[in-house]
Amino acid sequence: MRVKTSLALVATCASLGFLSERVVAQAPVSGKVDCIAPAGPGGGWDFTCRSIGRLLDRYSDNEIVVQTINMPGAGGGVGYAHLITKRAADPKVIAAASTATTARLAQNQFPGMTADMVRWVGAIGADPGVIAVAKDSGIGSLDDLIARLKSDPASVTFAGASAIGGWDHLKILMVAHAAGIQNLNQIKYLSYNNGGAAVTQVVGGHIDVLVGVASSSKGFIESGDLRALAVLGNERLTPPLDQIPTSLEQGLEVEASNWRGFYMSKDVSDAEYGWWVDTLEKASHTEAWQQVMRQSGLEPFSVFGTDFDRFVKRQVDTLNTISRDIGLIK
């Protein structure tokens, strides 16, 4: 899903001056703002805060200065709770989020907290999910894989980098759920320490199918060691991997990217929320941000405002249903 922009906005963004003097002067938010990275330094949430922080610092002529605050604990729950309870109605704080956030909300891992307790601002990029097999695998296509799972859910073994019930595991369950496959708890999934280890097991013929992400699979797909069956999203990858069909093209409405985005206090005004939505949307279209995405292996994924709010809540509902079906939660 992409937010459509006018030609005037695209032209403005291409110039990299996306925060004009007029916008800054009239903005309801200025000065020092905080970006909560609900984990330690060096991770994905930290990267999201610091990368966007550098853009806002640069293109607001220092009218906005972003400070990243690392707040690890409870898989993002500490930062989520802090924003809700300590920074209520504060427009000068945003928090980094990703698909891991929605997965934990879906599995009730933030006790007493729900997706309705914050305002979801937008997603600025994603690392799309990929399903792939070894080059000489007998599984020829996504349709072939689905047919095997329908015949016997335990007939295929999957490898991923997340724990049981984590994001890589949930990706294949989302695919199976969308395909109408029953007995999701019978699908075999093995967890490895990282994406590279999972890839090695599949390339070596020890595991049938990889459930991973584009960034860690790209080199193996380009070399021919892996054959990608689908990108789990609505849009194809950028070249040279643009020949891989999406799950949507193959009849399955599954969006399983590890998106990068932000949320903020639910009690901010509509004007303050709208300013953040507009500002981050424009930031996502700058050449500077496109370069950051290319360097980090992210793909374009721009969803903002009410569209993003609906997307997040739909994803939480889907993951909650799947987690119940396989017995992760009651």
Give pLDDT, residue 6.
33
- Alpha carbon distances (Å) from 246 to 22, 182, 206, 229, 266: 41, 23, 26, 9, 34
Buried b (16+ CB within 10 A) or exposed e, 25-64: eebebeeebbbbbbbeeebbbbbbbebbbebbeebbeebb
Strand 64-70 and strand 31-37: pairing?
Answer: parallel
**Cβ contact 310:168 at 8 Å:** no
Give pLDDT, residue 245.
96
- Alpha carbon distances (Å) from 99 to 17, 38, 216, 249: 30, 13, 17, 22
Instruction: List the one residue out of 62, 39, 89, 52 whose CA is nearest residue 262.
Output: 52
pLDDT in tens, the chain (330 residues): 433 333 333 333 433 444 443 334 356 788 899 999 999 998 889 999 999 999 888 877 778 899 999 999 999 999 999 999 999 999 999 999 999 999 999 999 999 999 999 999 999 999 999 999 999 999 999 999 999 999 999 999 999 988 888 889 999 999 999 999 988 999 999 999 888 899 999 999 999 999 999 888 989 999 999 999 999 988 899 898 999 999 999 999 888 999 999 999 999 999 999 999 999 998 888 899 999 998 888 998 999 999 999 999 999 998 999 888 888 888
Euclidean distance between CA atoms 61 and 58, whole angstroms: 6
Give pLDDT, residue 26.
52
- Alpha carbon distances (Å) from 299 to 53, 137, 148, 225, 266: 19, 27, 30, 22, 28
Helices (H) and strands (E) in the chain, counts: 12, 11
Give pLDDT, residue 28.
75
Q: What is the pTM of this model?
A: 0.82
DSSP 78-96: HHHHHHHHHSTT-TTEEEE
Distance, C-alpha 20 to centroid of its chain: 29
Name 251's Cβ contacts closer than 8 Å, sequence gap at least 6: none
Name 330's Cβ contacts closer than 8 Å, sequence gap at least 6: 324
Instruction: List the one residue out of 221, 109, 233, 125 whose CA is nearest residue 171.
Output: 233
Burial class (CB in 10 A: 0-12, 13-18, 19+), 215: middle
Euclidean distance between CA atoms 153 and 175, whole angstroms: 12
In the chain the domains, ranked by start, together with CATH numbers, are 7-127+257-324 (3.40.190.150), 129-255 (3.40.190.10)
Instruction: List the one residue out of 232, 253, 230 whose CA is nearest residue 179.
Output: 253
- How long is the chain? 330
